[in-house]
Amino acid sequence: MDSVKNILFFRGQGNPELSNETIKELEGLLGLRCWFNHIDFDDFSDREEDDWIPRYEQIKGKTVIFFQGTHEKKFLWELMQMIWAMKHQYGAARVIVVLFFVYYRRQDHPENMKEICRLRWAMHQLAANGADDLVTISPHSGQMEKFCLEEGMRFHEANPGKALADSLDPYVHDPQAELRWYSPDGGSIGRAAELAKILGGRVIFTLKNRSLNNDAEMKDGDQEEIAKIIKHWQEKTGFTEIFYASEADIVGHTIVMLEDEISTGQTASTTSVFLKKLGAVKVIIAAVNPVLSPGWRRKLVRSGAFDHIIMGNTIPRGMAKSTGGEIYTLSMSKPIAQKIYQIIKSSKP
C-alpha cells in the first residue's frame, strides 16, 4: 500500500499502553510492520519542556498520526506543542490526532454563559496548532463533532460496539431471564440498539436532569418528549424495540447498563440497587471511559451493586486503580485501529 510509506506514527506520554496495543492491531489490518517514531521527552533545569523529535527532517510532506490520551491537562499541552511543531515547524502535510480520551469533554455548553465552553476552545486549539483530523471513541456528546467541523477538522468516531458485544456475550445469555439494554439517559440509546441487534433483547431508557455542576438526577418522563426520542432512535438505528423503562421491563430480567464513562459510580450504583429491588435478576455495567473520581471503588465495587463491571482502557488505571479482577478491562485498540485503517485506505497515495 503506497500511501503507508508516507505515514509517520508518533505517540505522546498519555496512555502509551493503549497506543502500543492500537498500533499492533493496525499492523494486522495493514499486513505491514508499523512503529512509533521516537520523541525525546525531557525538561530543562528550570522545568520548561525540552521535548524534541530527533529525526524531525523526515516529517516534511508526510502524514503524521499522533496518538495521545488527554486524561490530564499536561498531556493536552504536550499534544498541542507536538502537533504545532510537526505541522508548522517541520512541514507535515497532514496531521491526524488520535485522542483516546478528551479533557474538557463535559464543558460543551456554549449556551451556558457562566461557564467557558472549554471543549470548543480545545477543538479550536487543535485546529490552530495543525490538526486536520480527529479520531476518538465514545465522545461525551455530539458537540465534539460539531465543534470539529466548525474548526475545519474532519471528525472520525471509532465504534466500540462490536468490542463491547464480544466482552458482554459470556454474561448475558440466560434462558430464565430476558435481556434489557438500559440507557440511563438518551445519550447511549444508539449504542444500546446496536448491541441489542447483535446479542438480542430490547432497549429501555430513562432521562436525567444534569445541573450546572454536573450532578445528575432521574427525570420524570414527559410523554411527548419520550415519543420523539423513541421515534428518532428507531429511525436512526432501524431498531424498533426501544421503550421508556417500566417495572415490567425490569422484573425477572438481566439488565445491562451502558455508559460512555464512569466517574464516582454513585448514580450508577444507586440505580443498580433500585433495579434489583424492583426484581432485576442481574445488573451489569459497561463503560468505555474509566474516569474513576475519588470514592469510586467504595461506591462501584465494594457496594456489590453490580454482578459484572466492564470498563474500557481509554484512561490507564494502573496499580493505583486495580481491583484484583473485580473489573474486566476491555481494550479499545481494535475499534480505534479499525477507524485509522479506514482513514488510511480511503486516503489517496
Bigger pLDDT: 184 vs 101: 101
**222 pLDDT higher than 70:** yes
Q: CATH number of the domain at 80, please.
A: 3.40.50.2020
Query: Do 136 and 38 share a structural domain?
Result: yes
* DSSP bridge partners of 52: 40
Query: Do 79 and 9 share a structural domain?
Result: yes
**208 pLDDT higher than 80:** no
pLDDT band at 244 (very low <50, low <70, confident <90, very high): very high
The residue range of the domain holding 192 is 161-331
**Beta strand 7-11 pairing with 63-68:** parallel
> What's the whole-number mean pLDDT along residues 216-229?
74
pLDDT band at 97 (very low <50, low <70, confident <90, very high): very high
> Angle of helix 333-346 relative to helix 16-30, nearest 10 degrees?
50
Contact partners, residue 339, CB within 8 Å, separation at least 6: 135, 137, 156, 157, 158, 159
As given in the structure block, the three cell numbers for residue 216 are: 445528575
Tens of pLDDT, residue by residue over 141-197, are: 899 999 999 999 999 999 999 999 999 999 999 988 999 999 987 778 999 999 999
pLDDT at residue number 64 = 98
**46 pLDDT higher than 60:** yes
pLDDT at residue number 207 = 81
Query: Do 292 and 148 share a structural domain?
Result: no
Query: Do 172 and 253 share a structural domain?
Result: yes
pTM of the model: 0.92
Query: Do 151 and 222 share a structural domain?
Result: no
pLDDT at residue number 215 = 43
- For the chain, the average pLDDT equals 93
pLDDT band at 348 (very low <50, low <70, confident <90, very high): low
Count CB-CB contacts under 10 A for residue 89: 12
Distance CA 7, CA 5 (A): 6
Query: Which segments of 200-247 does DSSP mark as H helices, in order?
Result: 223-237
pLDDT at residue number 299 = 93
DSSP string, 2-18: GGGGGEEEEE-SS-HHH
Query: Do 172 and 40 share a structural domain?
Result: no
Query: Do 148 and 40 share a structural domain?
Result: yes
Query: Do 90 and 173 share a structural domain?
Result: no
How many domains does one find in the chain?
2
pLDDT band at 210 (very low <50, low <70, confident <90, very high): very low
Query: Do 152 and 169 share a structural domain?
Result: no
pLDDT at residue number 159 = 95
Query: Do 308 and 185 share a structural domain?
Result: yes
Which region among 62-71, 215-224, 302-311, 327-336 has the lowest average model confidence (pLDDT)?
215-224
Contact partners, residue 304, CB within 8 Å, separation at least 6: none
Q: How does DSSP classify residue 332?
A: -
Considering the chain, what percentage of its residues have pLDDT values greater than 90?
88
Query: Do 130 and 215 share a structural domain?
Result: no
> What's the whole-number mean pLDDT along residues 32-59?
96
pLDDT at residue number 183 = 92
Which runs of E-coded beta strand occur in the chain?
7-11, 63-68, 94-99, 133-137, 154-158, 179-183, 202-205, 207-210, 216-219, 242-244, 254-262, 282-290, 308-312, 328-330
Query: Do 313 and 182 share a structural domain?
Result: yes
As given in the structure block, the three cell numbers for residue 329 are: 478491562
